[in-house]
Amino acid sequence: MDKVFATPEDALADITDGAIVAIGGFSVGHRFALSLITALHAKGTKNLCLVCNSMGAAGELRGQILAENKQVKKLIAAFTTRPGMPTATEEQIISGELEVELVPQGTLVERCRAGGAGIPAFYSATCVGTDIADGKELREFDGKQYVLEKAIKLDYALLRAYRADRAGNVQFRGGSQNLNPAFAKAARIAIVEVDEIVEVGGIAPELINLPGIFVSRVIKSTRPFDAQQTPQSKRRPGDQPRLYNDKPALTRSGIAKRAAGIITEGSYVNLGTGIPTMVSNYLDGRDVVLHAENGVLGYGKMVSGDQIDPDMYNASGQYIEVMPGASFFDSVTSFEMARGGRINTVILGAYEVDQTGSVANWSTADAKRGGIGGAMDLISGGSELIIVMEHCDSKGRPKLKKNCKFPLTGKGCVTYVVTDLALLKWETDHFVLLEVAPGFTAEEVIALSEMAMVKSPTLQYMA
């Protein structure tokens, strides 16, 4: 049974207009099927329904180049747009040319897993009480509400892996399984491009991450991935503080350091994108195991230069060191850990937190545009939730609100908030101001906030 095709063009020859196509890969540039995406772009197949984590930046060899070529009619994704990154996808969403279904990342892979397993639908606690649940069936189990989620079936999945044999058995490296196995199982035809093709028996059975029964076609990649091409953040440097009342607050790195100090020893901790990723740099010597939703358990600080391994990265796509005892898995398993209550603490960035303990961190415009990512799934397991963010937005408006204005990520779920001015903790029905940044008073912090809060009688300075 030989599943090897000579070229990407041969492997895509039968794809037709209107097909449902999933594109594997994660974050800003890791292990995407560059050869297959390029071939699909050249083929010009129209009216596609794309299923993916995100579309990428303008001009990137991702789903974005298909949108730029007007090949996409519908998008099912966890990220449709990202702040500060105007794209053809965003333009077509605004104009109404492109239909969008935003899906939390963990729910996306679970819906695909269900589609591949012959399960038509399932109930999930993720997104209950948010705009994403609008119009979906709700049902109560054991006193808790759940949303009905329908399975996703695919015509094609375009995937990338480390190597495969001629029978389609696939091996991934490091954290690069991510969405690929779920997409392969949901697809009628899964096509995998690899760095290396070996003869049957050339991969030890225990190293096969995706059995050949789920793979229809294999090609040798013609577009190698360059780890150095990964885009870097254009935000203010982490060691440069903002000014409030003409005084410097904590830096973004300082926020991360203070959040690291809250983490309980012996914890499994998930770090979201942005400021949360910096927390990993302040955990040396701590009994803390870090979890990343792309499929890594047990990683350490961020690395650069010669220390980079292109398959070792966190949920922000930043390269990381891998600690002794680490393990790798796919996104389905990763979100099982979160929804199943195995993760003790989740640290996320946010646009807003309100005085009911609710958080909004995923939309910059309306309920059809933005980036949900994995946050809703991560917090649905009832873990301790630490929000890290700057105290006010770029226009000086408070991010600590009476009520969130952006669509909610979760209701009544925040345990701590760490800003560049304050540390707050939720106590029964209100937030308590425990600490303020050096050089600031509690009164200044409260004046720069909209939410009601109670000043601790033992107020301290943040360190």
Average pLDDT for residues 334-350, to the nearest whole number? Answer: 97
Q: Are 65 and 336 in contact (CB under 8 A)?
A: no
Task: Give the pLDDT confidence score for residue 230 in this predicted structure.
Answer: 46
Tens-digit pLDDT profile for residues 55-79: 988 888 899 999 999 999 999 999 8
> Going by C-beta distance under 8 Å and a sequence separation of 6 or more, which residues neighbour residue 301?
280, 281, 283, 284, 320, 321
Average pLDDT for residues 132-137, to the nearest whole number? Answer: 94
pLDDT bucket at 219, cuts 50 / 70 / 90? very high
Catalytic annotation, pick one of 193, 293, 352, 435: 293
pLDDT bucket at 27, cuts 50 / 70 / 90? confident
Residue with tokens 């094609």: 156
Q: What percent of the chain shows pLDDT beyond 90?
A: 86
Greater confidence (234 vs 351) lies with 351
Where do the domains of the chain lie, and which CATH numbers do they carry?
8-221 (3.40.1080.10), 244-461 (3.40.1080.10)
CA–CA gap between residue 35 and residue 31 (Å, rounded): 11
Q: Are 272 and 378 in contact (CB under 8 A)?
A: yes
Q: Has residue 29 got a pLDDT over 80?
A: no
Task: Give the pLDDT confidence score for residue 232 in this predicted structure.
Answer: 47
pTM: 0.93
Q: Has residue 231 got a pLDDT over 50?
A: no
Task: Give the pLDDT confidence score for residue 103 in this predicted structure.
Answer: 95
User: Cα–Cα distances in Å, from 118 out to 18, 101, 167, 185, 394?
Assistant: 23, 22, 24, 10, 47
Question: For the purposes of burial, counting CB atoms within 10 Å of the CB of 70, is it exposed (0-12), middle (13-18) or buried (19 or more)?
Answer: middle
CA–CA gap between residue 237 and residue 253 (Å, rounded): 9
Look up 293 and say whether it is catalytic.
yes
Task: Give the pLDDT confidence score for residue 28 in this predicted structure.
Answer: 62
Q: Are 298 and 289 in contact (CB under 8 A)?
A: yes
Q: Has residue 83 got a pLDDT over 80?
A: no
Our CA angle for 39, 330, 134, nearest 5°, is 85
Q: Has residue 16 got a pLDDT over 50?
A: yes
Q: Are 363 and 100 in contact (CB under 8 A)?
A: no
Average pLDDT for residues 418-445, to the nearest whole number? Answer: 98
Average pLDDT for residues 270-284, to the nearest whole number? Answer: 94
Q: What percent of the chain shows pLDDT beyond 70?
A: 95
Task: Give the pLDDT confidence score for residue 186 in this predicted structure.
Answer: 98
pLDDT bucket at 236, cuts 50 / 70 / 90? low
Task: Give the pLDDT confidence score for residue 65 in this predicted structure.
Answer: 96
Our CA angle for 420, 86, 313, nearest 5°, is 60
